[in-house]
Amino acid sequence: MAEDMNQVEVKDLNVGDVISGKVTKVEEKQVYVSVENSKLDGIIPISELSSLHVEQASDVVTEGEELELSVIKVEEDALILSKRVVLANKAWEDLEQKFNSGEVFEALVRDIVKGGLVVDLGVRGFIPASLVENHYVEDFSDYKDKTLTVKVVELDREKNRVILSHRAVVEEEQKSQKQQVLESLQVGAVMEGTVQRITDFGAFVDLGGIDGLVHISQLSHEHVSKPSDVVEEGQVVKVKVLSVDRDNERISLSVKETLPGPWASVTEKLSVGDVVEGKVRRLVSFGAFVEILPGVEGLVHISQISNRHIGTPHEVLKEGQEVQVKVLEINENEKRISLSIKDLEENVEEDYKQYQQQEESSGFQLGEMIGDQLKNLK
């Protein structure tokens, strides 16, 4: 009688049927399940538990767990079942939908293999090394058991081929973020950025998804020979937005305009009558511009360069020359300082005249003193 009942039950189940089963026992290489409305034992071989390699069954299922299974073989005393087939069928349907829509989803990295990463999606998914990040990765060991956002870039059910990309997701996110930052930028805004790259003509600063250029002339109020003298890669700097070209995605920035100007409180550092050292920065037809403080230049008018008549400043001075100058006038509001070299020459002449007068008043001359000594020798 029992055999007849089993025969009836067995005839009701066919290869390909999807049934529910409850795990009753977990062995190392197989799992036993009880099948509803059947007195036959259900057996899941370890190879049918997952699309990926499984070392032992307990890594995948636990006793008492309810599973959806596919019948892959009907034997007289048991049903051979597969969890893998059910998961794969559902996975392919889901992946086809995600592939067609371009959906971004999460996947757990199960294994690191030569050439990339393996994920379990119900079917085996592969992320090639070149599609993991948008930069070179030397060692992928840290990616094991890590969840990545991915999208399907290639799908072929007949070849059981599923190619995924995390890089595509990262690049899309960066593009979106770049556009958002570009749209939000306003000329005159002051913000922080990170120096990404240094060139001969300036530094590129990341504003959070898009780079802007700080030209060498905008790095400091002082003269800059090369950008690396002022900034370094990875440095966080404050910048002011000078211009935004959204069509060509070009942004001009300035570090200089976020710093206190060299003319700030210049009258606290200089006074009329001060004698200071300076360097000739520019020679023009009407005089010489001399830098007397970092970023602060004063004009030595041609009439204040020398006591003798000169046709051009080039007759007396050259660019880069160190000179002593006297401060004649300071106009902080208009950022103008008048300087003189001639006045210092006059001081030298005056000092010499005073020396001569002192000699005369002392009652003897140098020549007389030498003459007396010569007489004594005779």
What pLDDT, in 10s, does the model give residues 233-285? 999 999 999 999 999 999 999 999 998 888 877 888 899 999 999 999 999 99
Tokens of 353: 């005249």
- Relative to beta strand 236-245, strand 250-254 is antiparallel
CATH of domain 186-258: 2.40.50.140
Lowest mean pLDDT among 167-171, 214-218, 263-267: 263-267
Q: Give residue-wise pLDDT tens across range 72-109.
A: 998 888 889 999 888 888 899 999 999 999 999 999 99
The domains of the chain are located at: 2-85, 102-170, 186-258, 266-346
User: For position 356, what pLDDT does the model report?
Assistant: 61
pLDDT of 230 higher than 80: yes
Find the length of the chain: 378
pLDDT of 218 higher than 70: yes
pLDDT of 215 higher than 80: yes
Lowest mean pLDDT among 18-27, 123-132, 245-254, 359-368: 359-368
Residue that is written with structure tokens 């990875």 in the block: 234
Top CATH class of 102-170 equals mainly beta
Mean pLDDT calculated for residue range 326-348: 87
User: For position 231, what pLDDT does the model report?
Assistant: 95
The span from the CA of 96 to the CA of 371, in Å, is: 118
Q: Tell me the CATH number of domain 266-346, given options 1.10.10.10, 3.40.50.2300, 2.40.50.140, 3.30.413.10.
A: 2.40.50.140
Mean pLDDT calculated for residue range 344-367: 59
pLDDT of 133 higher than 90: yes
* Shared fold status for 2-85 and 102-170: yes
Q: Look at residue 177 and give its three-state secondary structure.
A: helix
CB 30 within 8 A of CB 66: no
Spell out a b/e string for 151-162, using b for 16 or more CB atoms within 10 Å of the CB, else e: bbbebeeeeeeb
User: For position 4, what pLDDT does the model report?
Assistant: 47
| pTM for the full predicted model | 0.56
The pLDDT > 70 percentage for the chain reads 88
pLDDT range class, residue 377, cuts 50, 70, 90: very low
pLDDT range class, residue 374, cuts 50, 70, 90: very low
Top CATH class of 2-85 equals mainly beta
The span from the CA of 81 to the CA of 79, in Å, is: 6
pLDDT of 346 higher than 90: no
